[in-house]
Amino acid sequence: MTSTSGSSRPERAFRNRLNNLSNTDWIKFQKSWFVHNPPRRKEQVLRHPAKFPETLAQLFVEFFTKRGQTVLDPMVGTGSTLIACLRSGRNGVGIEINPEYAELATRLIQEEQDSLGAAVSGLSVQVLRGDAAELGRMRLPTFDYVLTSPPYWNMLRAKGFKTQAGRRADPDLDLTYSDDPADLGNIADYEEFLERLVGVYVSLRPLLRPRAYLTIIVKNVKKGGKIYPLAWDLARRLAEAYTLKDERIWVQDDIPLAPYGIGSAWVSNTFHHYCLQFRHEPG
């Protein structure tokens, strides 16, 4: 680059402030939709009725953080986000309300640490048993990124999920997250559920460093013959506390089609989720 005075100055060296990815991998992630069919679940985690895939979590962790930074998942389930942190060289904290899932996540994380050995030496990854609605009472550090996927309202208890019960006839496989009344997946009223879920995510703001990102992976839900726009409602409501930056659409194309409403009504097979990206802007 040449200045107006005729003298030349070197171009500023490129610096990736967000992650450790190559330019090629960065550009691949910028596609607004992507297909991700997770590998078959391990037997230990089959009991969880809606497990979040570690392979998917790793894609987001590696894009929105650098090695050595710290990630929070306030609804960590069986620990997918934290396992992704270990595989990516990040620190992580997960909050889980169900004590059995918290225990299982801790065990799976220890197995992953043993498997990775020296590669994860010095990393801190832990599961805390607790309610995400009470994060303000926990002594938590500042985080560089939040990645989470909430309950899709109380859909695991909905009438239409009888097919889920049929597929999970084994008594060792859970059909719902828990029976805890504090569990957001047990709230029957949609507006109450939405209000409490938004409250959890807004309460994360003081824990996020300025300009850090929050990713919520969520789906609109169908119940009683209508759609409840959970993803869109979250985007609208949380845009009052964070800057809504973008969305990516996660597509699963390996799920068999079901003949919902055939011959009488339009009912889609929904094989996509919204990955909503928010940023904590200073000020």
Give me 94's structure tokens: 């997960």
9 or 120, higher pLDDT: 120
Q: In 3-state terms, what secondary structure has residue 256? A: coil
* CA 204 – CA 246 distance, rounded (Å): 19
- Judged against a pLDDT cut of 50, whether residue 10 lies above it is answered with yes
Most confident of 26-40, 58-72, 142-156: 58-72
pLDDT exceeds 70 at position 4 = no
Q: Is residue 3 part of a domain?
A: no
Q: What is the pLDDT of residues 170-204, one digit of tens each?
A: 544 444 445 666 778 788 899 999 999 999 999 99
Give the count of domains, the chain. 1
- Span of 57-71, 100-114, 152-166, 167-181 with lowest mean pLDDT: 167-181
Domain assignment of residue 269, yes or no:
yes
| pLDDT level of residue 31 (50, 70, 90 thresholds) | very high
Classify burial at 5, counting beta carbons within 10 Å of its beta carbon; exposed 0-12, middle 13-18, buried 19 or more. exposed
- For the cut 80, the answer to whether the pLDDT of residue 2 exceeds it is no
By CB atoms closer than 10 A (0-12, 13-18, 19+), residue 136 is: exposed
- Other residues' Cβ atoms within 10 Å of the Cβ of residue 10: 6
Hey, which residues does 96 pair with through a beta bridge? 129
Q: So what's the pLDDT on residue 182?
A: 72
Torsion of CA 261, 266, 272, 274, to 10 degrees: -130
pLDDT at 6: 55
- What gap in Å lies between CA 37 and CA 238, rounded to an integer? 28
What are the φ/ψ torsions at residue 122 (nearest 5 degrees)?
A: 95, -10
Task: Report whether pLDDT(264) > 70.
Answer: yes
**Predicted pLDDT at 260:** 87
What are the pLDDT digits (tens) for 101-149?
899 999 999 999 999 999 999 999 999 999 999 988 898 999 999 999 9
Beta strands in 82-207 (DSSP E): 91-96, 125-129, 143-148
The answer to the question of residue 197 being in a domain is yes
5 lies in some domain: no
**Does any domain span residue 61?**
yes
- pTM score, two decimals? 0.85
Sort 41 into a burial class: Cβ within 10 Å, 0-12 / 13-18 / 19+.
middle
Local confidence band at 158 (pLDDT 50, 70, 90 cut-offs):
low
CA distance 264 to 262: 6
CATH code, domain with 191 = 3.40.50.150
Domain of residue 163 covers: 33-279
What mean pLDDT do residues 41-63 have? 74
Q: Is residue 2 part of a domain?
A: no
Q: What pLDDT, on the 0 to 100 scale, is given for residue 178? A: 53
On the question of pLDDT at 62 being above 50, the answer is yes
- CA-CA distance, 179 to 116, in Å (whole number)? 35
Identify whether 14 is part of a domain: no
Asked, for residue 21, whether it belongs to a domain, the answer is: no
Residue 38: pLDDT band (50, 70, 90) is confident
Rounded to a whole number of angstroms, the CA Rg of the chain reads 20
Burial 229-256 (b: 16+ CB within 10 A, else e): ebbebbbebbeebbebeeebebeeeeee
Whole-number pLDDT of residue 50: 53
Cα–Cα distance, 54 to 244 (Å, whole number): 24
Mean pLDDT to the nearest integer, 87-111 = 94
